[in-house]
């Protein structure tokens, strides 16, 4: 027995020495220990540019490793992960291309679902991932991992693990492994489940101000993705995006204040956006107040600011979908009066309604009362705002008209379609005796709000102090990236009617 033990000990030492003298074995071990090392090892397989190291890539790798280790050990997850970083900082290569492949080298059985705002974008990431698995370098280092022949499409490919070392009489086995299924937001997921679900840029920057797109994206992430987990307790969700809107998927999820969501926010520069850094201690790693001086130098950022504009720069670079100057509306330029002006100083007054039929949820019905003063200033006297069911809404509109008096013109935005026309007709009919009109505005919300914003920013708009001020200022401060836009719409409508040279057709 003693001799047998010595033989085993020598055999282990021989195997260790052989391993240390085999570069491929060493590389495999280093890759296994570090996603960051794995990325550097295979960088040339997915990019034609040289790898440029930076601390944020290593940090994100560590955070991804923590999530994967929890899923790989099949333990209840500590948290889901949301990452906000600027474009051009290697986020997709790190999180959507390299990370799943690294996981398969450790847990061949792991299943992934990856999502982007468009199918083409989702499939592009999947194709890079598949090309990496097929590369000569990967096959040399990981000969046991392959893509299954009959499950090999960009949208859905499956991993198999083949036994490499066999003994006499032992049949070589092929083990079915995990897979990667890629789709777009709103795409079908029926029949597919994953251990890790990754959404990467789920919102198109060109559609980020669309309320419809925001609602659809957030609803899909809320209601569809959670049902696609292989294990509701262990499976994890990882989200990566640049901030685009106050109520984009990041803002929507963080607003829930869930304890099992870890948020990492790395703006491109902290000269203007230091407060956005999360965790805040990461600000100490910035160099010259820059996240990545090589990829996003001050010269590059200045060019991006010119190209993106103040809103795009604030969201995509600063991870703050409100520009530092106060957005489209510089709310600190408002004047405030505690008492209304004398009637002789008022040229004309309008109450403009932007209607919504929502009982306790959804959009708000808003009625803004605005006056043109003789000195050319504009006064916002009152804002009625609520999430009212149709019957209650019509009653409040009538009561407000009675309180305002018949000298105040009433305007209502008419939504497109027969339903919008019918709704406005019904309201105007109930206001018989008042000067009530329908308005069919053209152009998007930003276009319509622009003339009013110019007056606000020039300091020629006055607010009468009231309990409605706080919500009003909050919405205007964030517009056009505010969660709600009803007060802006109603204010723009009132202002545009006060300054219009002709009146819209009255509906009878």
User: What is the per-residue pLDDT across 223-242, written as a single tens digit (0 to 9) for each?
Assistant: 999 999 999 999 999 999 99
Burial 225-242 (b: 16+ CB within 10 A, else e): beebbbeeebbbbbbbbb
- Return the closest-CA partner of residue 256 out of 221, 209, 303, 300: 221
Pair of tokens at residue 114? 């990856």
Residue 37 has pLDDT above 90, yes or no: yes
What pLDDT does residue 312 have? 80
Nearest to 62 by CA among 27, 29, 102: 102
Q: Where are the domains of the chain?
A: 18-265, 331-498
Helix (H, G, I), strand (E, B) or coil at 172: coil
Mean pLDDT computed over 58-77:
96
**Who has greater pLDDT, 258 or 240?**
240
pLDDT at 282: 98
pLDDT recorded at residue 19? 55
- Sheet of 461-464, strand order: 335-337, 461-464, 378-386, 365-373, 346-354, 409-413, 436-439
Q: Kindly write down the DSSP assignment for every residue of 195-248, as one continuous string.
A: SEEEEES-S-GGGTT-HHHHHHHHHHHHHTGGGGBSSTTT-EEEEEE----TTS
pLDDT digits (tens, 9 = 90+) for 288-329: 999 999 999 999 998 888 787 767 888 999 999 875 545 688
28 has pLDDT over 60: yes
Give the three-state DSSP class for 291: coil
- With cut-offs at 50, 70 and 90, classify the pLDDT of residue 63: very high
Architecture of domain 18-265: 3-Layer(aba) Sandwich (3.40)
Burial bucket for residue 159 (CB in 10 Å: 0-12, 13-18, 19+): buried
**The pLDDT value given to residue 167:** 56
- Using CA atoms, how far apart are residues 469 and 81, in angstroms rounded to an integer? 36
27: pLDDT strictly greater than 80? yes
Q: How far apart are CA 446 and CA 453, in angstroms?
A: 10
The mean pLDDT value for 389-413 works out to 95
When pLDDT is averaged across residues 264-277 and rounded to a whole number, the result is 96
Mean pLDDT throughout 25-30?
90
Nearest to 116 by CA among 235, 220, 26: 220
Which H or E run includes 472? helix 469-478
pLDDT range class, residue 502, cuts 50, 70, 90: very low
b/e per residue 273-295 (b: at least 16 CB within 10 A) = beebbbeeebbeebeebbbbeeb
Q: Cα(470)–Cα(481) distance, rounded to whole angstroms?
A: 17
Structure-derived torsion over alpha carbons of residues 354, 473, 332, 373, reported in degrees to the nearest 10 = 40
Q: Mean pLDDT across the chain, nearest whole number?
A: 89
Q: What element of type H or E holds 384?
A: strand 378-386
Locate 173 and state its tokens.
């086995």
Whether omega for the bond prior to residue 96 falls within 30 degrees of 0, making it cis, is no
Q: Would you call 223 exposed, middle or buried from its count of C-beta atoms within 10 A (0-12, 13-18, 19+)?
A: exposed
Q: Which of 64, 59, 40 is nearest to 51 (CA)?
A: 40
Query: Could you report the per-residue pLDDT of 106-153, keeping only the tens digit for each?
Result: 999 999 999 999 999 999 999 999 999 999 999 999 999 999 988 888
Residue 497 near residue 411 (C-beta atoms within 8 A): yes
Q: What does the pLDDT look like over 175-194, one tens digit per residue?
A: 999 999 999 999 988 889 99
**What is the SS3 string spanning 334-382?**
CEEECCCCCHHHEEEEEEEEECCCCCCCCCCEEEEEEEEECCCCEEEEE
Residue 180 · residue 112 · CB < 8 Å: yes
Q: What is the percent of the chain where pLDDT is above 70?
A: 90
| Distance from the first to the final alpha carbon of the chain | 106
CA dist 479 and 445 (Å) reads 10
Strand pairing of 261-265 and 236-241?
Answer: unpaired
pLDDT at position 8 is 44
Taking the model in full, what pTM does it have? 0.67
Identify the CATH class of 331-498.
alpha beta
In order of 89, 273, 294, 469, the CA distances from 291 in angstroms are: 9, 11, 9, 37
Residue 14 pLDDT greater than 70, yes or no: no
Phi and psi of 348, rounded to 5°? -165, 145
Backbone Cα Rg of the chain: 30
What pLDDT, on the 0 to 100 scale, is given for residue 441?
A: 86
pLDDT value at residue 484: 87
Q: How large is the average pLDDT for residues 247-256?
A: 93
Residue 6 pLDDT exceeds 80: no
């Amino acid at each position: 027995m003693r001799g047998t033990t010595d033989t085993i000990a020598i055999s282990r030492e021989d195997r260790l020495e052989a391993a240390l003298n085999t570069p491929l074995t060493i590389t495999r071990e280093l890759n296994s220990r570090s996603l960051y090392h794995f990325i550097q090892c295979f960088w040339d397989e997915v990019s034609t540019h040289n790898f440029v190291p930076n601390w944020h890539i290593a940090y994100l790798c560590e955070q991804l490793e923590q999530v994967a280790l929890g899923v790989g050990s099949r333990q209840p997850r500590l948290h889901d992960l949301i990452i906000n970083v600027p474009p051009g900082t290697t986020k997709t290569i790190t999180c959507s291309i390299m990370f799943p492949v690294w996981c398969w080298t450790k847990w061949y059985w792991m299943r992934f679902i990856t999502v982007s705002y468009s199918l083409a974008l989702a499939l592009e990431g999947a194709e890079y991932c598949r090309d990496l698995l097929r590369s000569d370098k990967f096959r040399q280092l990981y000969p046991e991992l392959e893509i299954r022949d009959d499950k090999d499409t960009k949208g859905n490919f499956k991993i198999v693990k083949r036994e490499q070392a066999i003994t006499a009489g032992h049949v070589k086995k092929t083990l079915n492994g995990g897979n990667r299924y890629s789709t777009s937001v709103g795409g079908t997921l029926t029949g597919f489940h994953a251990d890790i679900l990754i959404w990467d840029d789920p919102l198109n920057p060109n559609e980020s101000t669309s309320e419809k797109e925001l609602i659809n994206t957030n609803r899909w992430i809320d209601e569809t993705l959670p049902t696609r987990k292989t294990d509701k307790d262990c499976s994890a969700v990882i989200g990566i995006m640049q901030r685009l809107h106050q109520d984009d998927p990041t803002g929507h999820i963080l607003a829930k204040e869930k304890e099992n969501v870890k948020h990492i926010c790395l703006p491109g520069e902290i000269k203007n956006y230091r407060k956005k850094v999360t965790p805040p201690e990461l600000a100490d790693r910035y160099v010259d107040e820059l996240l990545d001086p090589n990829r996003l130098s001050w010269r590059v950022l200045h060019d991006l600011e010119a190209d993106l504009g103040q809103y795009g720069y604030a969201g995509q670079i600063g991870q703050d979908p409100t520009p530092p100057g106060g957005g489209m509306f510089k709310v600190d330029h408002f004047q405030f009066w505690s008492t209304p002006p004398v009637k002789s100083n008022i040229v004309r007054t309008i109450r403009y309604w932007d209607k919504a039929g929502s009982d306790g949820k959804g959009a708000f019905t808003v009625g803004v009362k605005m006056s043109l003063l003789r000195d050319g200033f504009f006064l916002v006297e009152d804002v009625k705002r609520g999430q009212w069911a149709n019957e209650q809404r019509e009653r409040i509109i009538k009561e407000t008209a009675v309180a305002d008096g018949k000298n105040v013109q009433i305007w209502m935005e008419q939504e497109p379609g027969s339903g919008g026309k019918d709704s406005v007709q019904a309201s105007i009919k109930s206001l018989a005796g008042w000067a009530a009109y329908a308005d069919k505005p053209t152009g998007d919300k930003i276009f319509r709000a622009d003339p009013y914003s110019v007056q606000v920013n020039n300091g020629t708009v006055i607010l009468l102090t009231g309990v409605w001020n706080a919500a009003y200022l909050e919405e205007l401060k964030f517009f056009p990236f505010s969660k709600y836009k009803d007060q802006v719409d109603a204010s723009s409508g009132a202002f545009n009617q006060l300054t219009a040279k002709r009146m819209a057709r009255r509906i009878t």
